[in-house]
């Protein structure tokens, strides 16, 4: 398994994401993904499928210790008491005594960041979490979080695909020893019809999805989350480590970024982006 190392964590370079995956599809797809060889599963309190992820892992036959399991604390649970209770509830749903990575899901200025980071450290100290990190944090927020945390942060999970330039966030994360975990990699399906990506895919005899995932994992320190409810596509998405893009092809994909490329920016949650 290809891994990304960051501040003491070894994170499988491709993970199976469960955002917008129904409970029924989660029960079906997570064991299939694990059978294919995925060893990184990503969920969140707000996804409403932690219990199904836990049941699917338990039924998969793959030892829990072989799986890198990530979940995220929702913003309304950031006050310390609610945070600690929510983590216990997540562990109960996930049928495990720890998660490998726990993230703050979005910035929330209503609760002091020091309180949020303090709670992350508290559950890590208690052995309920192996590693901690953030999601959807700007470079400034990420820098502040790093300073506030006793334990090292290991990732910032952000929207990352060919149409958005996240070079500032990636550079800041690398400088602090963090990885960047990419979500929404297919840009809500927009990449699939892109002529540049189609040409590169044809040259390699691969799908556009494989090219885009390869573009992510070929960048140092980047982890890709792949989400699908199709067994065939899951197999395809996992098969990205037996080919490589040239430097010219990598640059051509990166050159697709545009100023209006961001797709995920929910009102009331999104910070002032970099």
Q: Does the pLDDT value for residue 1 go beyond 90?
A: no
3-254: which CATH topology?
TIM Barrel (3.20.20)
- Give the mean pLDDT of 11-26: 98
Task: Give me the half-sphere count of Cα atoms (radius 13 Å) on the Cβ side of residue 218.
Answer: 20
> What per-residue confidence (pLDDT) applies to 122?
98
Answer left, alpha or beta for residue 229, where phi above 0 means left and psi between -120 and 50 means alpha.
Answer: alpha
User: Please, are residues 12 and 222 in contact by the beta-carbon 8 Å criterion?
Assistant: no
Q: What are the pLDDT digits (tens) for 160-172? A: 999 999 999 999 9
218 φ/ψ angles, rounded to the nearest 5 degrees? -80, -10
As given in the structure block, the two tokens for residue 79 are 């006050």
**Cα-based distances in Å from 56 to 16, 18, 25, 98, 244:** 13, 12, 10, 16, 32
Other beta carbons within 10 Å of 100: 22
Q: Does the pLDDT value for residue 130 go beyond 80?
A: yes
Q: What are the pLDDT digits (tens) for 170-229? A: 999 999 999 999 999 999 999 999 999 999 999 999 999 999 999 999 999 999 999 999
Note if 183 is an active site residue.
no
User: Please, are residues 142 and 113 in contact by the beta-carbon 8 Å criterion?
Assistant: no
pLDDT above 90 covers a percentage of the chain that reads 100
9-12/129-135 β-pairing? unpaired
Sign of CA dihedral 217, 203, 164, 266: negative
Return the residue matching tokens 């913003």: 75
**Cα-based distances in Å from 211 to 5, 7, 33, 198, 224:** 23, 28, 19, 9, 12
Residue 241 is given by DSSP the state S
Q: Which residue, 66, 16, 23, is CA-closest to 42?
A: 16
- β-bridge partners, 41: 16, 69
Angle between helices 195-204 and 247-254 (to 10 degrees): 160
9 φ/ψ angles, rounded to the nearest 5 degrees? -100, 145
As given in the structure block, the two tokens for residue 62 are 């793959």
pTM for this model (two decimals)? 0.98
Q: Where are the domains of the chain?
A: 3-254
Catalytic residue among 47, 78, 163, 183: 47
> What per-residue confidence (pLDDT) applies to 149?
98
Q: Is 161 annotated as a binding residue?
A: no
Q: What are the pLDDT digits (tens) for 43-63? A: 999 999 999 999 999 999 999
- β-bridge partners, 134: 104, 156
- β-bridge partners, 129: 99
């Amino acid at each position: 398994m290809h891994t990304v190392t960051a501040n003491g964590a070894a994170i499988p370079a491709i993970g199976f994401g469960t955002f917008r995956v129904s409970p029924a599809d989660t029960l079906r797809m997570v064991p299939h993904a694990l059978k294919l060889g995925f060893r990184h599963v990503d969920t969140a309190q707000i996804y409403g499928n932690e219990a199904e992820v836990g049941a699917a892992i338990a039924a998969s036959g793959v030892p829990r210790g072989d799986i890198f399991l990530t979940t995220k604390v929702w913003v309304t649970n950031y006050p310390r008491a609610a945070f600690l209770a929510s983590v216990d509830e997540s562990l109960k749903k996930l049928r495990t005594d720890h998660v490998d990575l726990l993230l703050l899901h979005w910035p929330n200025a209503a609760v002091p960041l020091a309180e949020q980071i303090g709670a992350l450290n508290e559950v890590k100290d208690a052995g309920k979490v192996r590693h901690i990190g953030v999601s959807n944090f700007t470079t400034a927020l990420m820098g502040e979080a790093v300073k506030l945390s006793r334990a090292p942060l290991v990732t910032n999970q952000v929207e990352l695909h060919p149409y958005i330039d996240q070079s500032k966030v990636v550079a800041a994360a690398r400088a602090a020893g963090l990885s960047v975990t990419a979500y929404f990699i297919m840009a809500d399906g927009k990449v699939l019809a892109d002529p540049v990506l189609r040409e590169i895919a044809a040259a390699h005899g691969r799908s556009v999805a494989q090219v885009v995932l390869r573009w992510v994992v070929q960048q140092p320190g980047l982890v890709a989350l792949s989400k699908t409810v199709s067994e065939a596509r899951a197999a395809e998405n996992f098969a990205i480590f037996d080919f490589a893009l040239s430097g010219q092809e990598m640059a051509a994909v990166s050159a697709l970024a545009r100023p209006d490329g961001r797709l995920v920016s929910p009102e009331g949650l999104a910070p002032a982006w970099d």
